Every structure is written in C-alpha cells, then in structure tokens.
Structure 1
Amino acid sequence: MTSESWAGGPMRIGQAPGNRRQAVGKMMWISIWLLYLAGPVGQLLRVGVSATERIWGGLGLALFVLCYFFVVFRHMWRMASGRPMYAALVLMLALSTVLSWTLDYTWLVLFIFTSVATAVVLPWRQSRWTIPLVTVVLIAVGARYPDIRDYFVFAYGLPALGSGFMMVGVQHLIHTTKELRAARQEVARLAANEERLRLARDLHDLLGHSLSLITLKSELAGRMLPDRPADAARQVADIEQVSRQALVDVREAVTGYRRPRLAVELTGARAALRTAGVEFTADPALEVEYRGLAADEEGALAWALREAVTNVVRHSGARHCELLLAEEWEADERRYLCLTVLDDGAGPPRAQHDGNGLSGLRERLALAEGRLETGPAPRGRGFALRAYVPLGTAPMGSEAAPDTSPESVNDPA
C-alpha cells in the first residue's frame, strides 16, 4: 500500500491520479508538509506585528503556497517544463528571500520548500546546482539575524540542502519505477507474441501432415476417376477421416491454449493485486484441485477470477480484497462451487448494465451451467462478485471433494 491509498484507492508511485478521490489524496499528502509553515503563520499572529506586515506577509505566504502546489502537484502527472515552471521557481525563491529578510527568521523555512520544489521539477544536471544555490541564499539571509547566528545553519541550512538532494533520490526512484513498469508491459507483450508464435508452430505441426495427406489422396482420387470409382471412393473416405481428425486436433490445441486454470489465474491475481498496492487474502481452497470440477467449469471460474481482479485493480479504488472458494448446496439438490471476490472500493457501478467484461463472463458461466451474481459487499461498502459452477450431487468426501493429497497440494497444475 502506498501512502495515498487511504485517500482514494491504491495509488502507485509515479502514477497519475486516476480519479477525483486519488487527486484529493495527492493534494492532502502534499498539504501535510505545509505544517512546517506554522512558524511564519505564528509570527504573523504575534502581538506587536503591524497590520501592514500581516497583510503583506499573508499575501506573500498565500502566493508562495499557490506556487508550491502548482509546481509540485502538476509535476505528479506530467513532466513539468517550460517557462511557467521556471517562473514559479524564481517567484518562490524571491518570496523566500523578501519575506525572510523583511519579517522574521522563521520565514527561512520557505527556502526548504523552494529547495524541494527545484528537486522535483528540474533535471539532475540543473538541480545539483540550484539546490546548493538556494541553500547559499538562505545562509546569506539568515546571517542578518544575530539571535540565531550560532545555529541557523543547522536548523535551516542543512535541512534545505538535505531535503533537496533527498527529493532528487525520490525522483530517481519514481523514474526507475516508471521504466520498470514499462519494461514489464514490454515483457508481457513479448510473451503474448511468443505464445502466438508457439500456437502457430503447433498448428503447423498438427496440420502440415494432414493437409499434405489430403492433397495427395485428392490427386490420387482424381486420377482414379472415372475408370476406378470404387478405389476413388475409398480415397475420398480416407480424406474425410483425415479431415475430421485434423479438425479434432485443432480444436484440442486451441481449447488447450484458451482454457485457463484456476491455480494459474490465482498466481496472476496475486501479482496484479500486489502491483496495484491492494492488500488481499486468498482462500487456501483456491490452491487445491477438485476432482468433481470439469475442465469447462474450472475454465469458467478462472475467467471469473481474472475479470473480478481486473475490475478491482482498474475501477474499484479498493484497499483490500478477499478471494474465497466454497461449496454450496442449492434448492435443486445440486452442488455448486462458488468463487467470491469481495472488495472495499467504490461499490457497484452506477450504470444499469454490467459492461462487456461482466456480460461476457455471465455468458461463459451460462455455457458451463453456472451463473454470476454481483452487488454490494456484505459489509455495505464495496463490491461483491460471486460465480457459481455445478459440481454434481455427490456428498462431501466423495469424488467431488477437493483433492488434498500431498501430490495435488504440492503440484496443483
């Protein structure tokens, strides 16, 4: 979980706000650091400060905060560059200098914010000089206050220098994370392409011999006509048999590629939730094999798990997710295996339709004689998805029960 997840769903480092709640979370996270402006605010409220100082000091502080938000918050979803950014940084440095020179030494804290802002916006080749420059200006201004001359370098100078270079490290981490995320997407794309190539090779191996044999027998049957119709008919019968077998082989190959396994999808779901920063709990029953669960039914549940986790990661803004698997008896004396995915996110969609993903999932489950149920989570907040597939009418402990032998648990695939 990231620091902003409490405010608007999981928010990954270096990622743009995906919705208003996440944008508010970003804003609140930045605003926490404004507590360090308590010194300048307290100085303005101090007894003996003139009304003119309060007015100009308040206006200057408000302008400084606006520049700070403009620079730092805008940079969180787009590269901050161009004249507006540089103008905002120069204005922040000017306000820091003027306010701390004319009002009080407590205003020296503005230089720390300016140092951090330069580290956030400017590239390293520039920030490695601007951060020390801001620190030097801070020391020059602070030297005019004899009351703090003995310690202001440690109280203000070192924090300005250290915070700036620390933020440079954070920026480097953000850029590294973005590159890693892009690399993962490229790996996934290459893996999908490799899978397509492997399927093409397998189909070639399956069909190459069959099509060659069909071509040969077709030519042979053509030569036998019209003088040897009986032999030609046998060749045509062989062609039909080879064609049917080739069709069966292709169907088996394609079905094997497209039918997901529940254990495999669970591994992918865990990786997706961890990457999105969503805490989750997974039922151990998801990791065992059910003897009474047919391949089509398992494939439907696996698709349901994939679709549910995709919705949690992309749309829900959830902080926590539960993955459950249980057997249930229905009124028709049939046993069902129920996959339940619960989250504490935004809840059911406002639209009246399910969308393409859930509609397609509902159709898949219907083909497996199952059903899909969606709605609010039991706790009143979040979304619940339940996918049912039949297991038959065998009692507990029979062949419909999960295979919990050591071989099955250790090697679910």
Structure 2
Amino acid sequence: MTDDQLPADVRAEHSVRVGRPPRTRAEAVRKLVWILPWLIFLASPVQDLKSGDHGTAATAAGWVALVFFTGVYLTLVFRNMGRPFSEPIVGVLVALLGVLAVTLCLTLGGEWIGLFVYVSVACGATLPQRAAYWAVGGNTVAMALVGLRVGADYWSLVLVVLLLGFSMMGVKQLVRTTVELRKARATVAQLAANEERLRLARDLHDLLGHSLSLITLKSELAGRMLPDHPDKAAQQVADIEQVSRQALVDVREAVTGYRRPRLSAELAGAQVALTAADVIADVPAEPDLAGVPEESESALAWSLREAVTNVVRHSGATRCTIEVLRRQTLDGPVLELSVEDNGSGGSGKGPGNGLTGLTERLEKAGGALEAARTRHGFRLVARVPAGAATPVGSGA
C-alpha cells in the first residue's frame, strides 16, 4: 500500500479523534459540540431564576451557583476526553457537583432536580468502573430522596439519570478499548518492521557473508602469490571477479524480491485505504496463492493497488467490492482479481497512464486486463496464469 492511497492526512484534520486530546481550536470546538446539547436540562433552573419567585440575593446566588456548577461539569467532562484529571481530583469535583445539586434543589426548589442528570453523567464518564456503579446508584437514590423532600415531579427523570450514568460507563469503556486497539496496532506495526529488518539482515548475511569472506581470502592469496607466481595470482583475481559478479546477481535478485508487492499485503492495504476514504469495502480474506508464480502475484498486486487508488481518488464511490477467484479456462488455470465500485470511474474519456501501464505489466506476466463502466459504476478485472495448481471450483 502506498501513502498516496490514504487521504487520511486530510481527513484526520476534520474528524473527532476518539480518546485523544484536541490538537487545534477547531477540534476542541467540535468536541465541545458533543457536550453542549446535554445542557438542555439547565432550561428549568434558568427559567426558575428568571421567574422572579426568589429574592434578589437568592437569585444572584442561584446564578453564581449555576454558572459554577456548569463550569465544573464542562471542565470535568471535557478534560476527560483527552488529558483527564487525577483520580483524587476527579472524585473531589464529582462530589462537589453532587453537593451543589442537593443544595440547590433543597434551597431553590424542585425545578433544579435536573442537575442530578449532570452528576450522573460525570460519575459514569470520569470515575473508575467499580466506583462509577456505586456513584450512579447513589446519585439516583439521592435524587429520589431530594425529590420527595421538595415535592418535585421527578419520577420521569429517575430512569434517565440511571440509564445515562450507565450509558456513559459503556461509552468510556468503548473509548478505552479503542485507544488500546490503536496502541496494539501501532505495536504490531513496529514489531512487523523490526522483523522485516531482522529478515533483511539475515538475508544480507546469507547472501554476502560467504562471498565477501571468499573474496577476502582470495585477495590475500593473490597478494602473496603476485611476486613469485603471477600466473596463479591472476587465477585468483579471476576467481575474485567471478565471485563478485555472482554476489552482485544475488543482491539484485534479493532486492527485486523485496520490492515485489504481495497480494495479501495489498488486500489489507486496500481495506485500510477504502475505509479511510469512507468507502464501504468488501475485501476477501487471505487468498489461496498455492502454485501461483511470483510474477503473476506481483502483477495482480500492482493491479489492485492501481484500482484502489482510482476508487479513492477519482471515482467518488461509496461502495467497493474486491474478489480474488481461481478459474479454469481453455488456456489453463487463471487467478482473477475483480474490483467493482459504484462510482463514476474517473473523468477521463480513455484509459489513463495507470491502466495502460497495468495492461503492459499484465501482458508481460501472460495475463490480461479488462476495465469498463457498468450499469452501476466501474469494474476492473485482471487475470494472470495461476500455474499448475488445482483450481478451486468457482466456475469458469
């Protein structure tokens, strides 16, 4: 998979990163938008303060307490999205929210009962899992007792408070799992890179270790023979030339193998690229490549890379289906790659440089390429010889 297949660098700037702190002001605003709609439960306290049923001092104190409560809640929940406070600070802030909710309801009336919703959300979103269970339940009980004391019509909110608290616990667990999966994927990628470096080191040692040792030995022999036995020294030099040429051939073959794309890796890359481009991808699992020549596999891998790049960059598709099948033809078994999408297939009137290059590459491997618009989009089919392996019964 090439980097140009992934427009993720652009899309990352416009997406909300789950479980990570905001990097820019725009990203912070987008995360804040997820919190602000829940402030609808503050409408009743605001209406109560504006009704004039309380004295001037009580109204002023109520406004100050409401603003302070909202600020603590937003700070606590917003910080929890990226760089959360330490557990002691979180416990103190959650307890402060609970005390404010109880105090305001008991002093200003039942219209403030909705504050317990925010306490429940804060408990579920910020406290450790075990503590959150007890805190959400305790908050619900406290709301019921305060409601009985002030005579508020709160029963419709009991279930909301309870379910929101437990729902936020589930969301927090989901975010934590997402973060762990992201870290695990990065670790796997690093381990794969380390393993590839080790493989490269082993291959270079196996390829060049013996050849270079032999060249060194024969060079020393030639140096000792040169004064007295020039004929034998010349033979040693000829041997050195032969060994070095063979070493050069081996290195070139090895480099060619490293550069050759693998179909399984390209399928995995296609899944990532299409998903990053918001294209619904139907990608097969590990294909059966038994008996398939390396040249044929490489040609199909290049075809898949080019096809996916076209889907991501030019087609405007929302769905893409990839299939890898073995078929039996009159010319023998073939391996067929099909990439079909529901996009436009690009704006060009004829085949572009990419498809022309693919056609030449496939013909060199003994295969063929078909690419054309369909009724619902665009379809590319690449076929290569599959060797003498027994074909899978998938129909011709």
Measured against the shorter chain, the TM-score band is 0.5 to 0.7
Specify the alignment match of 1:214 in structure 2.
Answer: 215
Residues in 2 aligned to 1:171 and 1:400: alpha-carbon distance in whole angstroms: 51
Q: Find the aligned partners of 1:116 and 1:171 in 2 and give their Cα distance.
A: 11
- Please tell me whether the aligned partners of residues 116 and 164 of structure 1 are also in contact (alpha carbons under 8 angstroms): yes
- Asked whether the equivalents of residues 8 and 25 of structure 1 are also in contact (C-alpha less than 8 Å), the reply is no
Gaps of 5+ in 1: 1-5, 285-292, 310-319, 339-387, 393-397
In structure 2, how many angstroms separate the alpha carbons of the residues matched to 1:62 and 1:120? 21
Counterpart Cα distance in 1 of 2:160 and 2:81: 23
The residue aligned with 1:252 is 253
Match of 1:37 in 2: 42
C-alpha deviation, 1:401, in angstroms: 4.7
In 2, the alpha carbon distance for the partners of 1:253 and 1:118 equals 59
8 Å Cα contact 1:262/1:302 also seen in 2: no
Q: Give the match for residue 336 of structure 1.
A: 353
Distance in 1 between the 2:12 and 2:228 partners? 85
Residue 189 of structure 1: aligned partner? 190
Aligned to 1:99: 104
Match of 1:344 in 2: none
Q: 1:279 — aligned with what?
A: 278
Contact persistence 2:16–2:31 (CA under 8 A) = no
How far apart, CA to CA, are the structure 2 residues paired with 1:56 and 1:194?
A: 65
1:180 maps to amino acid: L
> What SS does the aligned partner of 1:73 have?
helix
Deviations along 1:356-380, one digit per CA (max 9) or x if unpaired, are: xxxxxxxxxxxxxxxxxxxxxxxxx
Q: Give the deviation of 1:112 after TM superposition.
A: 1.8
CA contact (8 A) 1:328 1:336 kept: no
Q: Does structure 1 retain, via aligned residues, the 8 Å contact 2:280–2:319? A: yes
CA contact (8 A) 2:41 2:115 kept: no
Which of 113, 129, 137 aligns to 1:124? It is 129
CA-CA distance at 1:108 after TM superposition: 1.2
* Aligned residues with identical type, % of pairs: 47
- Report the CA distance between 1:390 and its aligned residue: 9.6
Counterpart residue type for residue 158 of structure 2: G
Conserved 8 A contact 1:43-1:106: yes
- Equivalent residues in 2 for 1:297-312, closer than 5 Å: none
Name the CA shift for 1:122/1:247 in 2 (closer, same or farther; >3 Å): same
Q: Distance in 2 between matches of 1:89 and 1:255?
A: 62
Aligned-pair CA distance for 1:34:
1.3
Equivalents in 1 of 2:231, 2:348: separation in Å? 60
* Count of residues paired in the alignment: 331
CA spacing shift, 1:407–1:33, aligned 2, 3 Å: farther
> Which whole-Å deviations, capped at 9, do the CAs of 1:265-286 have from their partners, x for residues lacking one?
4632532663x6x5137899xx
In structure 2, what residue type is equivalent to 1:230? D
Q: Is the 8 A contact 1:7 1:24 kept in 2?
A: no
Alpha-carbon distance in 2 for matches of 1:238, 1:328 = 57
CA contact (8 A) 1:7 1:25 kept: no
Q: What is the DSSP-based 3-state SS (H/G/I as helix, E as strand, rest coil) of the residue aligned with 2:279?
A: strand
**What TM-score results when the alignment is normalised by the length of structure 2?**
0.66
Give the deviation of 1:237 after TM superposition.
1.5
One-letter amino acid matched to 2:20: Q
TM-score, structure 1 normalization:
0.64
Contact 1:328 1:337 in 2 (8 A): no
Q: Compare 213-222 and 234-243 and name the one that shifted more.
A: 213-222
Partner of 2:231: 230
Aligned-residue Cα RMSD (Å) equals 4.7
Tell me the alpha carbon deviations over residues 251-310 of structure 1, each in whole angstroms, 9 at most, x when there is no partner.
332343245568844632532663x6x5137899xxxxxxxx9x89x98x969x89xx9x
Answer whether contact 2:367 2:385 (CA < 8 A) is retained: no
Q: Is the 8 A contact 1:225 1:232 kept in 2?
A: yes
Gaps of 5+ in 2: 1-10, 284-295, 313-317, 321-340, 361-365, 371-381
For residues 180 and 244 of structure 1, what CA distance do their matches in structure 2 show? 48
Q: Does 1:49 align with 2:53?
A: yes
Name the counterpart of 1:26: 31
Is the contact between residue 113 and residue 147 of structure 2 (CA under 8 Å) also seen in structure 1?
A: yes
Q: Measure how far apart 1:68 and its partner are.
A: 0.9
Q: Would the aligned equivalents of 1:326 and 1:337 in 2 still touch at CA under 8 Å?
A: no
Q: Is structure 2 residue 152 aligned with structure 1 residue 140?
A: no
- The answer (yes or no) to whether the contact 2:113–2:143 under 8 Å persists in 1 is yes
State the distance in 2 between where 1:56 and 1:168 align.
Answer: 33
Q: Secondary structure at the residue paired with 2:114?
A: helix
How far off its partner does 1:78 sit?
Answer: 0.8
